[in-house]
Structure 1
Amino acid sequence: MIDGNYTRSIPVKWAEIDTVIWLDLSFYLNISIGQLREHFRAISK
């Protein structure tokens, strides 16, 4: 699994993969997930 924007490793990634799964989540869902993540990180520290 690869996520993020790692441009220096593009040749390595594209040479080995055979399937791409693109998750096109809505803006509001991404914001909600980010807020939940920050909330749980804040209470776990």
Structure 2
Amino acid sequence: MKTAIAQMQLFDTAIDTYRLDTGPVPPTLEALRKSDSPSSDGPYLPKDIP
């Protein structure tokens, strides 16, 4: 259960940081893994999520 909670917190932080950097929420999970946007400081997820 602790692993699931930690993963959800990681997602929450990654989405919030992405939104603060780029404006909208990410359209896909892949958007958190890549930093294609010029205003992006990503990637926002350090590794693939199982």
- TM-score normalised per structure 1: 0.44
Higher relative contact order (CA 8 A, sep 6+): 2
- TM-score normalised per structure 2: 0.40
Higher helix share: 1
